Structure 1
Amino acid sequence: MCGIVGIAAAASAPPLDISQVSAMCDTILHRGPDEEGLYLDDDRRVAMGMRRLAIIDLAGGQQPIFNEDRSVATVYNGEIYNYRELRTELEAKGHTFRTNSDTEVIVHLWEEHGPDFVDRLNGMFAIALHDLRAGKLFLARDHLGIKPLYWSATGKHLVFGSEIKALLETGLVERQLDVDSVRQYLSWEYVPAPRTLLQGVYKLEAAQCLLLDLSTGEHELRQYWNVPHADDSTATWSDAQWQEAVAEQLDVSVRAQLMSEVPLGGLLSGGVDSSLVASAMGPLKAFSIGFNEASYNELPWAQKVGAHLGAEHHVKIIDSSVPALFDRLMHFMDDPIADFSIFPTFLVSELAREHVTVALTGDGGDELFAGYETFLAQRAARTWNLIPAALRNKVIAPIVDAIPPTEAKKSTVNKVKRFVEGAQLDPELSHARWRIFVTEAQSAALLTPEALGRAPTDLGAHIRDLTRRAGDRSDLDRQLYVDLRSYLPDNCLTKVDRMSMAVSLEARVPLLDKDFVSLAYRVPEHLKIGPDGLKTLLKRIAAERVPRECIYRQKQGFSMPMKTWLKNEYRARMEELLSKRRLTAEGLFNANFVEKLKSEHLANRANHSHALWALMVFQDWRERWSV
């Protein structure tokens, strides 16, 4: 696990210097505190670097790694869980290995298969590879987008890195705000890939690779893998057969990800997914956090699961000092997301890092087996739509909107208000419409007319595009496909990567093992959303491994009481970042509308915590990175 950086220069550009990539590496020291690896080819046209967090082959796994004649070099971030099988195959074909690291299979697979080799990997990775003979630079990101990779073509250079701050360090990337992406960010709390908040800076998408011809300067992007469709091979399987197959593959995937030469543990929330992963790990060091606010606190459930599994369980209660983390966490938000749960994710990672270097998480189960309550909202919308539109929109919705929100996380009032808000949005967005926190109408009021004119993209454009890309699948599987290709990598996995790497902790996600994902997409719909609720099959498996009452309960999610914090602990910071004078001078946001959001929230007439927090994160980001 580490971070990677690099620059490729055209023949007409000044020769590169090793100090350039060393400076890039310094910006991501937190990703790999153990050592630095640098590479510069003889022509000084390709420079690559990495910061290493040593996990496998501690003594011999230093990067860059080369093939036998040093004509192929690579730096990479991640873990390849099937590297031993691949190594055996490559050795049988005559390849010679000099290390015991998983990295070395990359250069030899390239020799055998060229760019197609990447689909043979099972793991999480961001790869940069230079083939000197062919004059090619190759970049690739793992199948599900677990590890990040950013890039920018700047005319005479192609710059890449695990974090945007590394690209900015080169001075080759303009800090030009993409206002169109700002609008997307405010609505979704993340910028849908491949774009970022900076013009010309892109995310390499999940299962995507980039091939640069160094002689011409031309590059091409292609998707090397897609989530498979269901097939006829399992059409006759019974529910019991599905349960056995998924449970078996879960265990295989978890065992594969236990490889480590350093201490390893698991992040345990007490929910279905983390409990399943923990149950398959064997002897377990588990890490959990709790909240003083009862409606946010899942610690008792995590403790019950940990006790049942006989775990060495480490816990921490989040106290009033947490809001002071703002400045520290914002340093890692150079590709910002506005997800409140960066706080608990950071804190549980920090707790785990006190004891281990690697931790397994339960991320991915909701996107594979329909675990989000937005799916229930989508089903409830069918009944809602039976009510005459005039009654829905002119009577019920205004009455619900006028009811003050409550402080509790998921009170009936708050759930009804959220449902009615989402139900009024474009039904083509399906269950994703309940993830929109700034609507088209609100963003039109929030942005100044000049800024709005620079933001033409429909807020649902990426949802519609991914729905088309999902192809001929069932309605539910199309929705899951959209989640897997956008919300998961652009928000959830970004959060986990940023917050775990902030403390130099490697976070692994066995539910996103390529084989497990492929199997999950063949599971029948009734085993995802069934009579007993969401995530039917995973709950049945989990209920046989941990206390049943821990599984069949209301989903709480990993969040924070931000709506309360904005009225208290964060009020001064909010007033500072969103001051009327500042916003008016900058000319991007309508200061009067922001004042309205603040006053309504502070008076408890509405819960605008998501919009206000997104604005605060953005304002800090813009100032921090001088955009």
Structure 2
Amino acid sequence: MCGITGAVWLRENRRVDDGLIQRMTDVIAHRGPDDSQTWTDPSHRDGLGNPMGVALGFRRLSIIDVDGARQPMANEDGSVRMVFNGEVYNYVELRKRLQGAGHQFATQGDGESIIHLYEDIGTDVFSQLNGMFAVAIWDASRNRIVLGRDRIGQKPLYYAFKDGRLVFGSELKSLALVPGVCEEIDPAAIDEFLTYQYIPHPGTIWKGVHKLPPGHFAVLDANGLRVERYWNYDPSVEQPVSRGEAIERLRELLSDSVRLRMRSDVPLGSFLSGGIDSSLITALAGDYTDTPLRTFSIGFSVADFDETAYAAKVAKHLHTDHTRFEVNPNAISILDKLVWHYDEPFGDSSAVPTWYLSELTRKSVTVALSGDGGDELFAGYERYRALWLSQKLNRLFPIHRLPGIGLVNRLPDSDQRHSISRRAKRFLEALGQPPVRRYLNWLQIFPESMRASLYTDEFVAELPGTDPTEFLESVWARSEGRDIVTRASTSDVLSYLPCDLMTKVDVASMAHGLEVRQPLLDYRVVEFAASLPVSHKFRGRRGKLLLQDAFGDRIPGEIFTRPKMGFGIPIGKWFREDFRPLVQETMLADDARIQRFFRPEAVADLVSAHNEGRQNHGYRLWNLLILETWLRQHF
């Protein structure tokens, strides 16, 4: 687990010198506090004698082969060099195969298998890796650089190709040090951010700067830069399988995934929230350790957001060495840190508890297992049930047209997470829309009408002709022909999971030098879950049925039936109390940076409606505060 950065230039006047690559590497030192190296070849020439210089930078968090496996890493003759962030979990199996083919290994690390496999099969290397990774491979003999990112997007990789120079890195802050790269805000990114609370790949907040999409690789050579997809699984195809066969296959796949992710030369533990997913992963991890597994949960003083009592029950049941952290999250005190580390506006407020959990867990272990992915793969979200129910109602009669239904929208909002009025409003707003738009209604932070009333005329004129909903529609289309719950969950795997959840976990954990591994996101488990008939996962408004069938005997039964809580914070209450002075000093101030895009009176109306209890705009105000803070850090 590390941080990588680098550059390749096709003209001498676009060279990145030793000092600059060192600064690009140093700025992400938090991702790799154990080691730092850079390597440059400023005088390389391609086959036609044209200049093609290269510089690579690396920060290391030592996990496998702690004393060796330094990077940038080279093959036997030095013709291939690599920097790599992440973990290749099947490296032992790959290593045996490669050694049998005659390759000589200089380290015991997992990353070296990538280099030798690349020598044999080129860019097909990524399809052979089971892991989370962002990779940059400099191939001097082919005069090219190859970038690759894991299938699920667990590890980030940003790049910009401008005027004959490619720069890349694990974080945008490395690229921002290169003159002429991060200069102009992309107006479309602001519109996307308010829609999703993140900026979807391949875009970023900066014009001309991109995220390499999950499951893709990029090649820069004499023919220019091209980006290709290598993960070609088809979620539109359903595989007929009996329930018994599905149970056995899931047991095999998930147990093996956990086994692979237990490989570590440093202390390893597990996040344990007390929910289904983290409890199952913790139970399976216990099969591969001779000593009690260390587990960690985080609690809050607000009872509606605290589930550590369930975590304690699971820990007792599994005989883990459990640590419960209790914090009173002070989002104001860490706001600037959060915004700096996330590099671009990122509005998921659960980044706050994830930050604290990572910080406290790192004091005990270097690697933590997590249950991320269970809701997306096995239909666990409440919104899937709402979507399923709305589909059934729409087929029976147009309930959204009944007299009096609109009165529900006049009900006052509540700060309670499971508020009936809040859920009723969102449900009724979605009725009558096409399925993908109905689903977007459950996801979006600012609906289109609200964004339109917020934007200044000048900002509207800057917006391109694209629609933020095109991103969701594009991933929705990949599961054509499937049932509505499968289409929604598959869309989440391709959008919400990499753009929101994986970003949240990667940044919060790596800010503290903690590696987080997610066994449920083994690509074999993901592909298997997508292929299953929905009846194996979801029935009668209940999800995660297959998980319970396969592993119900491993954890207390009440964990499967208790209400889902998620990983939230009382954001609405905060804005009415703790955040009020900060809002006045920033978002509502005369020098508010968001006035560049938004009408001040529209922002003030949102704040007033929230403070007076007429509507709960807590999550919307959080996104605006994040954007305001980001703008103040950069302009």
Into which bin does the TM-score normalised by the smaller protein fall? over 0.9
Show structure 2 runs of 5+ residues with no match: 45-52, 287-291
Residue of structure 2 equivalent to 1:512? 521
Q: Which is worse superposed, 485-494 or 370-379? A: 370-379
Q: What is the match of residue 174 of structure 1?
A: 182
Matched residue, 1:240: 244
Change (3 A) 1:401 1:476: closer
Residue 37 of structure 1 corresponds to 37
Query: Which residue is 2:609 aligned to?
Result: 600
Q: TM-score, normalised by structure 2?
A: 0.94
Query: What is residue 99 of structure 1 aligned with on the other side?
Result: 107
Seen in structure 2, the aligned counterparts of structure 1 residues 82 and 599 have a Cα distance that, compared at 3 Å, is same
The count of aligned residue pairs is 620
1:147 aligns with 2:155: yes
Match of 2:273 in 1: 269
Q: Give the aligned residue type for 1:611.
A: R
Counterpart of 1:219 in structure 2: which amino acid? L
Shift of 1:228: 4.1
The alpha-carbon deviation at position 403 of structure 1 amounts to 1.2
Q: Quick check: 1:191 aligned with 2:199?
A: yes
Q: Could you say which residue in structure 2 is the equivalent of 1:207?
A: 215
- State the one-letter code of the partner of 2:32: G
**Aligned partners of 2:82, 2:500: CA distance in 1, in Å?**
28
Query: Cα distance 1:231–1:441, how it changes in 2: closer, same or farther (>3 A)?
Result: closer
**1:280 is the counterpart of 2:284:** yes
Match among 250, 256, 263 for residue 260 of structure 2? 256
Structure 1 equivalent of residue 579 of structure 2: 570
How far does the alpha carbon of each residue in 1:562-600 deviate from its partner, in whole angstroms, 9 at most, with x for none? 000011111122222211523488431011111110000
Contact 1:583 1:589 in 2 (8 A): no
Select which of 474, 490, 497 maps to 2:506: 497
Equivalences for residues 119-158 of structure 1 within 5 A = 119-158=127-166
Report the AA paired with residue 328 of structure 2: D
Distance of 1:188 and 1:14 partners within structure 2: 36
Q: How do 1:148-547 and structure 2 match up within 5 A?
A: 148-213=156-221, 215=222, 218-229=224-235, 235=240, 237-282=241-286, 283-319=292-328, 321-382=330-391, 384-385=393-394, 388=398, 391-392=401-402, 395-397=404-406, 399-423=407-431, 427-455=435-463, 456-471=465-480, 473-531=482-540, 533-547=542-556
Question: What is the alpha-carbon distance in structure 2 between the residues aligned to residue 464 and residue 602 of structure 1?
Answer: 35
Q: 1:614 aligns with which of 612, 623, 629?
A: 623
Q: 1:585 and 1:52, CA in 2 relative to 1: closer, same or farther beyond 3 A?
A: closer
Identity, in percent, stands at 38
For 2:232, give the aligned amino acid: N
Give, in angstroms, the shift of residue 625 of structure 1. Answer: 2.4
**Aligned counterparts of 2:124 and 2:481: Cα–Cα separation in 1:** 25
Deviations 1:249-285 (A, max 9, x none): 1111001000000000001111111111001011310
Is the Cα–Cα contact under 8 Å of residues 400 and 428 in structure 2 kept in the other structure? no
Q: C-alpha separation between the residues in 2 aligned to 1:470 and 1:390?
A: 27
Is the Cα–Cα contact under 8 Å of residues 202 and 212 in structure 2 kept in the other structure? yes
Match in the other structure for 2:289:
none
Please, what TM-score do these two structures have when normalized by structure 1? 0.95
Partner of 2:56: 48
User: What do you get for the CA RMSD once the two structures are aligned?
Assistant: 1.9
| Deviation (angstroms), 1:472 | 5.1
**C-alpha distance in structure 2 between counterparts of 1:584 and 1:558, whole Å:** 30
1:81 alignment partner, one of 85, 89, 101:
89
Which stretch has the larger CA shift, 177-186 or 528-537?
528-537
State the alpha-carbon separation in 2 of the partners of residues 529 and 260 from structure 1.
35
Aligned equivalent of 2:118: 110
In 1, Cα distance between equivalents of 2:573 and 2:315: 30
Q: Deviations over 1:400-443 (max 9, x none)?
A: 22211123211222222232334466543343320112111111
Q: In structure 1, the residue corresponding to 2:535 is in which secondary structure? A: helix
In 2: Cα distance, 1:567 partner to 1:114 partner: 56
SS at match of 1:331: helix
8 Å Cα contact 2:2/2:32 also seen in 1: yes
How far apart, CA to CA, are the structure 1 residues paired with 2:497 and 2:235? 19
What are the superposed Cα offsets for residues 103-151 of structure 1, whole Å, 9 maximum, x if unpaired? Answer: 1111111110011111000000000000011100000000111000001
Deviates more, 1:415-424 or 1:108-117: 415-424
Give the match for residue 47 of structure 2. Answer: none
Is the deviation greater in 582-591 or in 489-498? 582-591
Q: The residue matched to 2:413 in structure 1 has which SS?
A: coil
Q: Distance in 2 between matches of 1:377 and 1:231?
A: 24
The question of whether the paired residues in 2 share the 8 Å contact of 1:528 and 1:536 is answered with yes
Q: Deviations over 1:535-578 (max 9, x none)?
A: 11113334311111122121111111000001111112222221
Deviation for aligned residue 1:318: 2.2
Contact 1:141/1:206 (8 A) holds in 2: yes
Aligned twin of 2:66 = 58
One-letter amino acid matched to 2:262? L
Say if 1:433 and 1:542 are closer, same or farther in 2 by CA, change over 3 A. Answer: farther
1:99 partner amino acid: T
* 2:600 counterpart residue number: 591
In structure 1, runs of 5+ residues without a counterpart are: none
Quote how far apart the aligned CAs of 1:231 are: 6.8
> Structure 1 522/468 Cα, relative in aligned 2: closer, same or farther at 3 Å?
closer
Q: 1:505 to 1:402 in 2, by over 3 A?
A: same
Q: CA 1:135/1:584 → structure 2, altered by over 3 Å: closer, same or farther?
A: closer
CA contact (8 A) 1:467 1:479 kept: yes
CA contact (8 A) 1:584 1:590 kept: no
In 1: Cα distance, 2:54 partner to 2:599 partner: 45
Q: Is the 8 A contact 2:572 2:618 kept in 1?
A: yes
SS at match of 2:341: coil
Task: For residue 5 of structure 1, report the CA deviation from its aligned partner.
Answer: 0.4
What do the CA deviations read for 1:302-326 (whole angstroms, capped 9, x no partner)?
1111111001111112216454221
Contact 1:334 1:625 in 2 (8 A): no
Deviates more, 1:50-59 or 1:527-536: 527-536
CA drift at 1:13:
2.5
d(CA) in 2 for partners of 1:84 and 1:408? 49
CA contact (8 A) 1:81 1:123 kept: yes
Is the CA contact (8 Å cut-off) linking 2:435 and 2:484 kept in structure 1?
Answer: no
CA distance in 1, matches of 2:327, 2:522: 31
Q: Residue type matched to 1:357 in 2? A: T
Q: Contact (CA 8 Å) 1:377, 1:431: kept in 2 or not?
A: no
Matches within 5 A, 1:5-24: 5-24=5-24
Read off the aligned partner of 1:304 and give its amino acid letter: K
C-alpha displacement at 1:530, in angstroms? 1.4
**CA–CA distance in 1 between the matches of 2:367 and 2:417?**
31
CA distance in 1 between counterparts of 2:401 and 2:594 reads 43
Name the residue aligned to 2:48. none
